[in-house]
Structure 1
Amino acid sequence: MANTNREKLFTEFPPVPTEKWEEVITADLKGADYERKLVWRTGEGFNVRPYYRAENLEGIQFLGSQAGEFPYVRGTRANNHWRVHQTVTVACPKEANAEALKLLNSGVDSLGFSIASENFTAEELDQLLDGISIPAIDIVFCGAKPGHLADLFLAKVEKEGIAKEEVHAAFSIDPLVRNLSSKGDFCSPNGEKCFARIAELIRRTAEYKHVRIVTVNAQIFGNSGSTIVEELAFALSAGHDYLVRLMDEGLTIDQAARKLRFSFSVSSNYFMEIAKLRAARMLWANIVKGYNPEKNCAGKMMIHAETSRWNQTVYDPYVNMLRGTTEAMSAAIGGVYSLEVTPFDRAFEAPTEFAKRIARNVELLLKHESHFDQVVDPAGGSYYIENLTQSIAAEAWKLFIEIEEKGGYTEAYKSGMIVERVKASAAAKDKNIATRRQALLGANQYPNFTEVAPKEVTAEAVTRPTAEGNVLVPYRGAMAFEEMRLHVDRSGKSPKAFMLTCGNLAMARARAQFSCNFFACAGIRVIDNTFFKSVEEGVEAALASKAEIVVVCSSDDDYAEVAPKVKELLAGRAILVVAGAPACTPELEAQGITNFINVKSNVLETLKFYLKEMGI
């Protein structure tokens, strides 16, 4: 018989109060500002402390519930077996069918079909699903006329006599987000026909417990540059708008809520994304409960997730594999129903077979080798993530209420509020990327020095799209740097920056590394050097290299003497740049030395300036 006595471990170590931790931290800071050095000021509207303790869980009301229990913060099911999803673009039904069958034999158990034709027929649907066992998988239809696709699919299911409880399907019908946010209008005036049509499909599928008619495509917010809080609040608001409109069409709250599906993007903000998904379930459950459903389970949020497209890069694209992996981990730990990992090359080409295989293998590895599907909500009880969940929920709810006070999602969107908020958040991210406060590896930080864009990378792939009117336009955060670098790659020139390292060896090397990284972001070829014993030797080597830019790398104490000497010896034959922000800057500027780069520089604008100076 098992011993029921539970011996407490480490009782010889007395508990350390928070005050003692704070005393040690304050001493270690040696007078530095605690708030500035250790508190993370997020773009989400709240601050994150450097550590959390059990006392920080006090007052969090959702603690104590288990997976499958209201408010579902720990998950809507008692397991974590998410579906591995991959989307097939359907131009030719037979070719798409062949690809789909291959995916099903490669570990995929949730198929997405993006239909290109607006005149898709029943015969083409039969071709598309030939040899595919509908009860064995999840099927999601998106693309042109998803309502028409729903009619065709349901007719096929009924014709084949498939049991209704065995059909797992979803449709990307989304006039509020997909149509209104990306096109600026509904499918009909004020959407009356749209919502009547949706209500009709919901009634038709009333006995299909696993069929979802509406998909709230919230990933458009994240991929347009919104914050995590904004993506969540806007998704909740759009979902609530659907509930209200569908109940106006005569549906009950239970009927409407059970037919909604949410699709979120997942960025590389690892812990924040885990918390977002947990907060999403909790808030949605409370929204639905406010309408007194017959059963609380009507408020279970079905979440599909896609790894972010916003932070993918064209240069050094294999880094996108790493991004997709950490993002997939966030989604799996956060407890999604299904997940699609974006192929690493999607930003610049139609994904190759290799890219698609790696994308799905990320999920298969997390399942079969890392066993992420064997643990339900491993984040539960974490002081840090529980606090993040609470903070994200609080800020998202605040924004949700603000939208409701404007009349709901539709009215708030028409007023311009949604687009204005997303554009402001995107602009803040753009600034952080330009100044490297936010890193996108391979683009604005640690670029591959020798990389030249392959022919597959077109100007269109790196040019930020624009649109007139009150619409959201997805883009990638790296585009401004990539457009600049591609321009250099296609210019037919090979500009060079020479590192003139002298003076203090340690500072010279550190600044040379910083400067190499800085100039390589524009595709400028860097010529690094270990050390020059004299300024004369360094200038001679710089001129011999025929570099258009010479970066003097030394210590602040050396610059007052070294920089003017370099300027004199160069005699205008190259652009002189000083690496750092020395105290003698005013004196150097008085001598005509005006180019400086340092950690506070706007890297993007500075590089554009030097390219212009070189005639590129």
Structure 2
Amino acid sequence: MAEKDKKLFADFSPVSTEEWEAKINADLKGKNYERALVWKTYEGFSVRPYYRQENLAGKENLDSLPGEFPYVRGNNKTGNDWLIRQNIFVTDFEAANKKGLTVLGKGVTSLGFLFSDCCSVTKENLAVLLKDICLEAAEVNLVCPSDDCNLAELFVDLVSAGKWDNKNVIASTATDPIGTYVLKGVIADDAVTKLKAVVEKAKMVPNFRTIAVHGKFFANSGSSIVQELAFALAEGAEYLTQLTEAGVSIDDAAKAIKFNMGVGNNYFMEIAKLRTGRLLWSKIVEAYGPDSKSAAKMIVHSETNRYNKTIYDPYVNMLRTQTEAMSAALGGAHSVTVLPFNAVYEETTEFSERIARNQQILLQEESHLNKIADPSAGSYYIETLTESIADQVWKLFLEVQEKGGFIAAFKEGFIQNEIKAMAAERDKRVAQRRDNILGTNQFPNFSEKLKPGFDGSLFEPIDLSEEGAKVETLKPYRESQAFEALRYTTDMYSQDNKRPLAFMLTMGNLAFRKARAQFSCNFFAVAGFDVIDNNGFATVEDGVAAARKAGADIVVLCSSDDEYAEIAPKVAEQLDDEILVVAGAPACMDELKEKGITNFIHVKSNILEELKGYQNKLGI
């Protein structure tokens, strides 16, 4: 530090944590510190409003370097260059090859070829698919829903017979019989041990990973970050155990596994999740006694979650995926797929795919997030999050191990029950708008209306359970589905009927009536109702007359708590078939209910159930 800098800092006396806390409590003016400033996470721990250097005291692994065991700071010694992956659905091998070559010229460095049925793949048409693609310059990932296909063997044969240097080829298949079990409910007793031959043959291409652990299945079923990571690690450990017991070396088994993780919009948590994953996976692999510590590197492909994506106001999905891509990049993902904004409800377009590619290209070429290894290192907050997540993940991981491992815990129903309980809590918070989905349960686009023709399954969980499934399966869904179904019902009703109208009858105190009218407009627009706000009425008679003239189905009285006792009964007396709703939870609520005024909306309302109720009252 320069001498002038030392003098500058000497002019400022240090401020202790006690002094900061005293100042914060003074500013809170009697509010409860824990309720006002401490964030209670889904992950089972609390997050403080600020962190200081003293919070790093005693934390392990702070002295490790990038590229060094336990890899918490990343797998690379220098830089943070991740691969930009785009997925291509293969229905025609020549067309898929042409598209792959096209996108490789537009910034993509990793291709994901997705097959609906890989039984039809042969060495010949695989050669057509990969024609003119330099396998030493671009990663290739072959993804098939069947775990009995021979894609890995075909790929190894193709590479070995080609002109490439096998050591420079980076590729993967996504064979995951345990993940298939999670979604379909069936698994053969020898499903994992049968992979031994594949793993042994894949050694001919050193950077070819043949086994996938799909943590994203948990994330897209409503799990917490801790659950996603703990269960993914437990699944990975299951593969290690069964493969090594079948005679595969731990080094070969570990190097065969690639983790496919989701990434959500919990920005800092997702960064810490990837750092935690590398830390714990390295410890798990280390326990098996590998010959090389490099075998303990956790290779992660991150894909933006479907769980939090929406059909209404879909362009907001671009904002969601942008922060998610940043989290994956800063967390040290090996590769990242940004799902196009419309991927959850229609076939992606050239435009949406271009935007998705460019979101990552901007992070590399303009934000330069790929230039610095472990850019989050030393952050008091992220380092603390990493440790907190690690503690919770390890605790849950050990619970699974105590039950006999992943498969045994899934057969018992433990994993499903944990995720279902978490998903129910998350759904409840969304229904109460304690968790906001922009454009769906909060601040909807008032003028947006979906056209007929949407597949109703878009609003339902995805059930891939096979006939004869032995266990309850996970059923991925989107947290916005219930609200989208609610609004779509209104949209379809209004094809042949008048769209319901909620009219804001604003009176009295200016501040209260404006705030409550804005709240109420958002409230009813969530269900696709038309809304009319107003500046204010001098009398009840004027307000009711204006509501009738507008053709209101619902009249929302917006005023102050003190004025409701007098105004609400007068409004109720003058209404006929219109539904009267009071905006707020006034102290006189019980008194008003005795007079037949029973509808109240406020910040603690379960908006989903309330709006379903209003649809029923209106015959929708």
TM-score bracket for the superposition, by shorter chain length: over 0.9
- Name the SS of the counterpart of 1:488 in structure 2: helix
Q: 2: CA distance between counterparts of 1:338 and 1:41?
A: 31
Seen in structure 2, the aligned counterparts of structure 1 residues 456 and 5 have a Cα distance that, compared at 3 Å, is farther
Q: Does 1:182 align with 2:183?
A: yes
Q: Which moved more, 1:275-284 or 1:51-60?
A: 51-60
The equivalent position to 1:519 in structure 2, one of 498, 521, 524, is: 524
Q: 2: CA distance between counterparts of 1:25 and 1:6?
A: 32
Counterpart of 1:28 in structure 2 is 27
Counterpart of 1:264 in structure 2 is 261
Q: Post-superposition shift, 1:208?
A: 2.2
Q: 1: CA distance between counterparts of 2:531 and 2:144?
A: 46
Written as runs of structure 1 = structure 2, the 5 A alignment for 1:495-574 is 495-570=500-575, 572-574=576-578
CA contact (8 A) 2:90 2:116 kept: yes
Seen in structure 2, the aligned counterparts of structure 1 residues 482 and 137 have a Cα distance that, compared at 3 Å, is same
Tell me the amino acid that sits aligned with residue 589 of structure 2: T
Seen in structure 2, the aligned counterparts of structure 1 residues 318 and 499 have a Cα distance that, compared at 3 Å, is same
Written as runs of structure 1 = structure 2, the 5 A alignment for 1:581-600 is 581-600=585-604
What's the TM-score once normalised by structure 1's chain length? 0.97
Q: Post-superposition shift, 1:6?
A: 8.7
Task: Show CA shifts across 1:185-244 (max 9, x none).
Answer: 22x2x1x1x333321122112242211111101100000000000000001100011111
CA contact (8 A) 2:444 2:522 kept: yes
Counterpart of 1:93 in structure 2 is 93
Q: 2: CA distance between counterparts of 1:101 and 1:339?
A: 19
Cα RMSD, aligned residues only: 1.4
- Name the SS of the counterpart of 1:139 in structure 2: strand
Q: Does 1:66 align with 2:61?
A: no
CA contact (8 A) 1:43 1:227 kept: yes
Q: Post-superposition shift, 1:411?
A: 0.6
Counterpart of 1:168 in structure 2 is 170
- Name the SS of the counterpart of 2:9 in structure 1: coil
Q: Does 1:399 align with 2:390?
A: no
CA contact (8 A) 2:153 2:202 kept: no
Tell me the amino acid that sits aligned with residue 17 of structure 2: T
Tell me the amino acid that sits aligned with residue 294 of structure 1: D
Q: Post-superposition shift, 1:48?
A: 0.7
CA contact (8 A) 1:348 1:456 kept: no
Q: 1: CA distance between counterparts of 2:356 and 2:453?
A: 20
The equivalent position to 2:150 in structure 1, one of 144, 148, 151, is: 148
Written as runs of structure 1 = structure 2, the 5 A alignment for 1:52-451 is 52-78=51-77, 79-117=79-117, 118-145=119-146, 147-177=149-179, 179-186=180-187, 188=188, 190=189, 192=190, 194-451=191-448
Q: 2: CA distance between counterparts of 1:80 and 1:301?
A: 15
Q: 2: CA distance between counterparts of 1:605 and 1:7?
A: 60
Tell me the amino acid that sits aligned with residue 263 of structure 1: N
Q: Post-superposition shift, 1:144?
A: 4.0
Q: 2: CA distance between counterparts of 1:466 and 1:592?
A: 44
Tell me the amino acid that sits aligned with residue 84 of structure 1: I
Tell me the amino acid that sits aligned with residue 517 of structure 2: A
CA contact (8 A) 1:219 1:263 kept: yes
CA contact (8 A) 2:97 2:129 kept: yes
Tell me the amino acid that sits aligned with residue 18 of structure 1: T
Q: Does 1:611 align with 2:601?
A: no
CA contact (8 A) 2:463 2:476 kept: no
Seen in structure 2, the aligned counterparts of structure 1 residues 610 and 145 have a Cα distance that, compared at 3 Å, is closer
Tell me the amino acid that sits aligned with residue 516 of structure 1: C
Q: Post-superposition shift, 1:121?
A: 1.7
Task: Show CA shifts across 1:407-454 (max 9, x none).
Answer: 111111111111111111111111011100111111111100010013
- Name the SS of the counterpart of 2:120 in structure 1: coil
What's the TM-score once normalised by structure 2's chain length? 0.96
Counterpart of 2:468 in structure 1 is none
Task: Show CA shifts across 1:534-587 (max 9, x none).
Answer: 2211111001111110000011111111111111111x3300000000111111
Tell me the amino acid that sits aligned with residue 159 of structure 2: V
Tell me the amino acid that sits aligned with residue 445 of structure 2: N
Tell me the amino acid that sits aligned with residue 449 of structure 2: V
Q: Post-superposition shift, 1:4?
A: 8.0
Q: 2: CA distance between counterparts of 1:454 and 1:59?
A: 58
Q: Does 1:13 align with 2:17?
A: no
Aligned length: 608
Seen in structure 2, the aligned counterparts of structure 1 residues 11 and 209 have a Cα distance that, compared at 3 Å, is farther
CA contact (8 A) 1:459 1:486 kept: no
- Name the SS of the counterpart of 2:370 in structure 1: helix
Q: Does 1:41 align with 2:40?
A: yes
Seen in structure 2, the aligned counterparts of structure 1 residues 465 and 112 have a Cα distance that, compared at 3 Å, is closer
Q: Post-superposition shift, 1:184?
A: 1.0
Q: Post-superposition shift, 1:61?
A: 0.9
Q: Post-superposition shift, 1:466?
A: 4.5
Q: 1: CA distance between counterparts of 2:31 and 2:582?
A: 28
Q: Post-superposition shift, 1:62?
A: 1.6
Q: Post-superposition shift, 1:154?
A: 1.2
Q: 1: CA distance between counterparts of 2:210 and 2:440?
A: 39
Seen in structure 2, the aligned counterparts of structure 1 residues 144 and 21 have a Cα distance that, compared at 3 Å, is closer
CA contact (8 A) 1:507 1:554 kept: yes
Q: Post-superposition shift, 1:467?
A: 6.3
Seen in structure 2, the aligned counterparts of structure 1 residues 28 and 135 have a Cα distance that, compared at 3 Å, is same
- Unpaired segments ≥5 residues, structure 2: 466-470
Q: Post-superposition shift, 1:26?
A: 1.3
Tell me the amino acid that sits aligned with residue 343 of structure 2: R
Tell me the amino acid that sits aligned with residue 502 of structure 1: M
Q: Post-superposition shift, 1:7?
A: 4.3
CA contact (8 A) 1:349 1:457 kept: no
CA contact (8 A) 1:349 1:456 kept: no
